[in-house]
């Protein structure tokens, strides 16, 4: 029996559409056009944040900032109504609220009939991500719109002294997400417009066939995969991180700096066993491959 391929379960083309923006074919290859680039989801995403535009916490330090913008269809001009826009960021004392029922500095809103959305919150600050790596101040965002790939991205601020040394913000693809703050009274204002893009999604049945726990054959490390809103996720200490489907049984963790990647390849054995190979590269042509078996 031939090895089953995930694409046979999904009925999808093996050509992957980029997750970073509107893509067109120029006769030779796919190229970006008016793209809104993606960025790392980060380890602190929490789903189901309250529907609210005002994230300000009374008594907490931090200057007021209003974030607004417009969500458009892939034609880069037509407004997208009712797109789901999630925002989260750290507090003035460099902490993400990963557990409380208050979901501090986390909120969800929906674009109106003109594609417009708005949040008001307090400025995040740079923080030590470990090992002396200082991340510049930033907003995390996830924009979801039926019919399109969810856009996972980050917004940075002009003048932050840590921008040039951060792998994500220093990437040339992030330049349009380093935005200028305009002061109006007591509030900083920032505008971030984004364009949605086509998605390549496997069926729910195909994704569900992959969920479960996988054990590293070398060290016994266990990873647990689950699905949410048509995406494949792996659990972490807060909620999880999401992988984008590339086609041909392959998924990728999006938004890593250029030259770096983290990919998953699932091999479905005839006897029902599933083999997972995880390939990770931190650049410089070096790749580490780990093998997992579903348990």
Q: Between 100 and 282, whose confidence is greater?
A: 100
Share of the chain above pLDDT 70, in %: 87
CATH classification (class only), 6-16+200-294: mainly beta
What does the pLDDT average to over 276-285? 88
The whole-number pLDDT of residue 183 equals 93
Question: Rounded CA gap, 96 and 18, in Å?
Answer: 30
User: Which residue, 160, 150, 156, 162, is CA-closest to 138?
Assistant: 156
**Residue 201: pLDDT band with limits 50, 70, 90:** low
Strand partners, 135: 127
CATH of span 31-195:
2.60.130.10
Would you state the structure tokens that stand for residue 53, as one six-digit string? 């535009």
Phi-psi region for residue 206, left (φ > 0), alpha (ψ -120 to 50) or beta? alpha
Q: What is the pLDDT of residues 135-194, one digit of tens each?
A: 999 999 999 998 888 888 999 999 999 999 998 899 888 888 999 999 999 999 999 999
Q: List phi, psi (to 5°) of 76.
A: 70, 15
The whole-number pLDDT of residue 21 equals 34
Residue 219 pLDDT exceeds 90: yes
**Residue 116: pLDDT band with limits 50, 70, 90:** very high
Residue 34 pLDDT exceeds 80: no
* Residues 258/240, Cβ–Cβ less than 8 Å: no
Distance from the Cα of residue 255 to its chain's centroid? 7
Q: What is the pLDDT of residues 52-97, one digit of tens each?
A: 999 999 999 999 999 999 999 998 999 999 999 999 999 999 999 9
* Residues 2/245, Cβ–Cβ less than 8 Å: no
Its pTM stands at 0.77
* Residues 253/262, Cβ–Cβ less than 8 Å: yes
Question: Rounded CA gap, 32 and 23, in Å?
Answer: 5
Hey, do 6-16+200-294 and 31-195 end up sharing a CATH topology, with the first three levels equal?
A: no
Q: Following DSSP, what letter does each residue of 23-76 receive, concatenated?
A: EEE-SSSEEEES--------TT--S---B-SB---TT----EEEEEEEEE-TTS
Beta pairing, strands 178-179 & 151-157: parallel
User: Which residue, 276, 283, 133, is CA-closest to 215?
Assistant: 276
Q: What is the pLDDT of residues 13-29, one digit of tens each?
A: 222 222 333 334 444 44
Would you state the structure tokens that stand for residue 223, as one six-digit string? 């990873």
Domain ranges in the chain are: 6-16+200-294, 31-195
Residue 290 pLDDT exceeds 70: yes
Residue 2 pLDDT exceeds 70: no
């Amino acid at each position: 029996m031939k090895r089953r391929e995930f694409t046979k379960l999904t009925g999808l083309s093996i050509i992957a559409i980029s997750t970073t923006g509107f893509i067109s074919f120029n006769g030779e290859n796919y190229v970006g056009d008016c793209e809104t680039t993606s960025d790392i989801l980060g380890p602190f995403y929490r789903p189901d944040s309250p529907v609210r535009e005002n994230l300000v916490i009374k008594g907490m330090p931090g200057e007021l900032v209003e974030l607004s913008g417009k969500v458009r269809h892939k034609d880069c001009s037509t407004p997208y109504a009712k797109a789901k826009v999630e925002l989260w960021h750290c507090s003035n004392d460099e902490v993400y609220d990963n557990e409380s029922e208050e979901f501090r500095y986390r909120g969800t809103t929906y674009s109106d009939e003109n594609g417009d959305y708005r949040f008001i919150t307090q400025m995040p600050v740079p923080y030590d991500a470990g090992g002396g790596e200082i991340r510049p101040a930033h907003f995390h965002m996830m924009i979801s719109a039926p019919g399109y790939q969810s856009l996972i991205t980050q917004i940075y601020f002009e003048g932050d002294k840590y921008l040039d040394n951060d792998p994500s913000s220093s990437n040339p693809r992030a330049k349009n997400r380093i935005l200028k703050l305009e002061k109006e009274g007591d509030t900083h204002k920032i505008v971030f417009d984004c364009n949605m893009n086509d998605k390549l999604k496997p069926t729910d049945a195909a994704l569900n066939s992959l969920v479960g726990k996988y054990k590293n054959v070398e060290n016994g490390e266990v990873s647990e995969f689950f699905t949410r809103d048509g995406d494949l996720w792996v659990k972490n200490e807060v909620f999880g991180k999401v992988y984008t489907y590339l086609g041909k049984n392959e998924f990728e963790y999006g938004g890593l700096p250029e030259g770096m990647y983290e990919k998953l390849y699932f091999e479905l054995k005839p006897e029902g066993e599933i083999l997972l190979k995880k390939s990770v590269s931190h650049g410089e042509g070096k790749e580490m491959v780990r093998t997992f078996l579903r348990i």
